[in-house]
Amino acid sequence: MDKKSEDSVNQLGGRNSLLEQVTPLAREMNSLDIERIADVCVKSIPNLVGATFASLYVLDESNGILHLLKHNHPFLINKIVSLSQNPPSPMVMAVRTKELILITNIDTHNKPVIRKSQRVFAENYQTKNCAIAPLVCQDRVVGVLNLADKMKGDNFSSEDIALIELFGQLVGASIGNIKLFERIQRQATTDGLTGLVNHKTFYEILEKELWRSRRYGGQISLIMVDIDNLKKINDAYGHRAGDKVIREVSRRLKECIRQIDTAARYGGDEFTIILPNTSLSDATLVAERMVEVVSRTPTTWQKEQIPLSVSVGLGQYDADSNPEDITSRSDHALYMAKQAGKNTVRVFEPCKK
C-alpha cells in the first residue's frame, strides 16, 4: 500500500472512530430529560474534545438571564449571568452573536476585551484557553456550553471546533424540544389569558384534594369569584379592556392565597380557588381580603379609570362530597352575593335537618 492510500485509510479509520463516539452521545441527547443532557455536556463532551472543565447554562429569555444548570468545576463559578451586563462577557457575546467564541489567551483576547473584573475565577484554571458555544435551536439561543482548560495546554484543534459546533446544535435542539414540550404541557393545563389553571385542570386538582381528604382526613374550602359588571366594561371600552380587567383581577386574587392553594379560571369572568385543610372561618377571611384587594384601586385603560370589584361565594365541604355538589353550592353562595348588591361575600349554609 502506498503512502497516499495509507493516509486515506488512517483518515477513514479516524473518522469512523470519531463517529462511533459521537453517535451514542447524539442518541443520548435525544431526550426530554434535561439532567441526562446536562450529564453529556459536563462529562462526555469535555472528554471528547480534551477539555478539563465544562459548564452548562440555560437561557431564561423572558428575564434575559443565563442560569447555571450543571458544571464539573471543583471551585466556585457564577450561578447566573445577566445578558444586560456592560461591557458584555464572552458568554453574553456568544448569545448575542450566536457564534462560537474561541479564546486562546484570555489575557490578550480582544473580541471582546475581557476585563480583570470579568474573570474573578481565572486563577482557578491551568490554561488561558476556553471555548464558549451558544446552544441554538431554530435560530434562537437557548443556552451556552463553556469548555475550559484544553488538556496539555494545547489550543482547540479544527476537529475539536467542528465537534463543539456540532454539539452546540445538538444540545440546543434537545433543550429547545424540552422547552417546547413544557410550553405545550402548560398550555394544556393553564388558561392562556391569566396563567391560572384551566377549567379541566381545576376539576382534576379538586378530585385529588378530595381523595387526599378521604385518606388523611380534613375538609376543603372552595371559593368562587365573579367579576362585577364585566359586560358593562366590555360594552363601554371593548373586549381588550375586558381582557385586561380579567388579567388584573386574577393577579390580585393570587396575591391573597397560599402556594398550596389552587386558583383557576373557571370560565369567562368567573374564578375558583381550592383551599385544602382550611377552616370556613379562615376561608371567609381570604374571601373578604379578595373583595378588599380587588376593589382597593381601579385599573387604567387608555387613560380611563375603571373601578373593579368582585362578588364571592364560598363553602366548606367534607371528603364525601362530589366535585359537582361542591361547585354548585359555592356557586349558589356567589349568586347570593350578586343578589346582595355585589362587591361582597356570602357563605353557603347547608340546610339543617
DSSP state string for 270-335: EEEEEEET--HHHHHHHHHHHHHHHHHS-EEETTEEE---EEEEEEEE-TT--HHHHHHHHHHHHH
pLDDT single digits (tens) 249-278: 999 999 999 999 999 999 999 999 999 999
Fill in the DSSP letter of residue 110: B
3-class SS at 45? helix
Beta bridge partners of 58: 67, 143
Task: Confirm if 306 and 295 have CB atoms less than 8 A apart.
Answer: no
Which of 11-20, 52-61, 175-184 comes out lowest in average pLDDT? 11-20
Residues with Cβ within 8 Å of residue 198, at least 6 apart in sequence? 189, 190, 191, 264, 265
Q: Which is higher by pLDDT, 49 or 350?
A: 49
pTM here is 0.64
Pick the CATH number of 3-188 from 3.40.30.10, 3.40.50.2300, 3.30.1280.10, 3.30.450.40: 3.30.450.40
> Do 3-188 and 199-347 show the same overall fold?
no
pLDDT single digits (tens) 228-252: 999 999 999 999 999 999 999 999 9
Task: Confirm if 225 and 310 have CB atoms less than 8 A apart.
Answer: yes
CATH 3.30.70.270 fits 199-347, yes or no: yes
How far apart CA 258 and CA 274 sit, in angstroms, is 10
**Domain assignments of the chain as residue spans, ordered by start:** 3-188, 199-347
